[in-house]
Chains A and B, each alone.
Chain A
Amino acid sequence: MIKKNRDIYIIFSIFILFFIVNIVYLSLGWLDLWGNGLGIITGAAFTLAMYSFLYKDNPVFKIAENLFVGVAMGYWIVITWFNILKPDVFETLIVPIFKDTGKAPQFTILFPTLLGIFMLLRFSKKLAWLSRWSFAFIVGLGAGITIPNFIHAFILKQLTFDSLFSTSIPVSINNFLVLLGVVSVLIYFFFSVEHKGVVGGVSVIGVWFLMIAFGASFGYTVMARMSLLIGRIQFLIRDWLGLLQ
């Protein structure tokens, strides 16, 4: 009970502090409410609300999280309407049917539109079977387009290399390492032969390559996550608090 009260006091104190800071900044004219000030204050509030989760899960975080999902979905719907549904379906098929726009309605659009509507019928128990037509079309089309292009771009192109030995020694060493890495990792994942003797030795080299690759991925992931934090803190201390120029 004492702990719960302490959490409420902490959240309430931060809220009051945030309110005071904004009032001071607005009254001193450091933030222009009707310029970009309202957007900055809202952004700062939501940034702090999101990071409040690091202390503990709390209602402020939950509100911000749900608002983020809702706003993002609303934005996606508006963009999809104005960029796709309105120009490609509404104005080319539906409007010309009911109004003389000087353009004939494009009935070919009916086919993809219907397939799109069929996908939404998964919500109906009686008509859900129609969605399989849409999925069958997507899977068939996707496989037909993707398989030959992927084989060409990601397998055949990756298999070709000019020469193992280059005029530059570092490039030759790099080429050799790439070849060694690919072969040893493939042997590590080849389970039809027992990993003993030469095969066992090469598969151990493969494990080393895998560990180095995982380490590189981890390093890059840390960099990515920290970049997001740096960006948010830059926003708070530069755009909101004006401590940085």
Chain B
Amino acid sequence: MIERLINIDRRFIFLLVAMAVTIPLLAKFNLPVRATKDVESIYYKIDSLPKNSHILIAFDYDPASKEELQPMADALLHHCYRKDIKVVGMTLNPGGTGLAVSAIESIGKEYGKTKGTDFVFLGYKTGVELVMINMGENIFSAFPEDFHGNATIDLPVLNGIDSLEDFDYVVDLASGSSIEAWIAFGKEKYGFDLGAGCTAVIGPDMYPFLQSKQLNGLMSGLRGAAEYEILIDRESTAVAGMSPQSVVHVLVVLFVLFGNTMYFMSKRKR
């Protein structure tokens, strides 16, 4: 019996996980989500910015991380547009262009914002650290044209912006190591306030930067996105995803306990 349970078909486990995700989504039961201090720091920073301030959002992710980072981007954009903050988007990941441009423009449209006046998407540039240094020297040299081919020097949204230090706030949404690059080559060199959103996988690696105040706030994984949705009072996909997330976590804990119990029982039997 124990041997049979130890060698259980892995597809049975996959089926249980699929059910643990699907049933809570269909049953629509909600578990409370409370915003943590690290996510609140980003929210309060943006909330404190006066009208027509400039925020730079780096969409450094691609569709593989869309499920975790796109809800963060959407929530941030809703907050910025509500506060009449001018949004400048860019990406260091070629796969991020489609996601970024659709989010910036479609959410901007909801709030009646104008392309080039209230928001701009600068597009993709290769080089990561070199792009940051170039933007720190002169943003128009790094991005002479926006994603749609308009000369950036003529865009009203960039009035008052010459380099990275002119931004009131910078947020990096990252699925890779770009947050470290933004810290080393952006924040430390040009002294702007930096917040970050990242996938849950790299979340633990980012906490030391919160303690050293190199990041003013951090949204980590789907939970970070859900917390931000709660703060802006606009519950969407991230909040909806937290109930299945909790159920699956309980299931994984049960699997771990079950696996260990069976292992020790089989060892004793031998």
A interface residues with partner B (beta carbon < 8 Å)? 54-55, 72, 75-76, 79-80, 83-84, 87, 145-146, 149-150, 152-154, 157-158, 160-161, 178, 213, 216-217, 219-224, 226-234, 237, 243-244
Mostly, the A contact residues are: helix
Within 185-203 of B, Cβ neighbours of A (below 8 Å) are at: 185, 187-189, 199-201, 203
Give Cα A76 to B94, complex, Å. 6
B residues in contact with A234, CB < 8 Å: 25, 237, 240-241
How many chain B residues have a CB neighbour from A under 8 Å? 55
Within 104-163 of B, Cβ neighbours of A (below 8 Å) are at: 123-126, 129-130, 133, 144-145, 147, 149
Q: A83-B125, A244-B26 are in contact. List 20 more A-B contacts (CB 8 A).
A: A76-B94, A76-B95, A79-B97, A80-B94, A84-B126, A145-B130, A145-B185, A149-B185, A150-B184, A153-B188, A154-B183, A160-B212, A221-B200, A222-B249, A224-B68, A224-B199, A227-B241, A232-B67, A233-B18, A234-B25
Q: Is the CB of B220 closer than 8 A to any CB of chain A? A: yes
Give Cα A243 to B240, complex, Å. 14
By the criterion CB–CB under 8 Å, are B211 and A227 in contact?
Answer: no
Closest to B213 in A: A157
B residues in contact with A149, CB < 8 Å: 129, 184-185, 188-189
Q: Taking A153-B214, A230-B245 as contacts, is the C-beta distance between A220 and B221 under 8 angstroms? A: yes
By the criterion CB–CB under 8 Å, are A220 and B66 in contact?
Answer: no
By the criterion CB–CB under 8 Å, are A229 and B17 in contact?
Answer: yes
Give Cα A213 to B248, complex, Å. 21
By the criterion CB–CB under 8 Å, are A233 and B25 in contact?
Answer: yes
Give Cα A224 to B225, complex, Å. 12
- Min CB gap B145→A, angstroms: 6
A residues in contact with B248, CB < 8 Å: 222, 226, 229-230
A residues in contact with B79, CB < 8 Å: none
Q: Is the CB of B223 closer than 8 A to any CB of chain A? A: yes
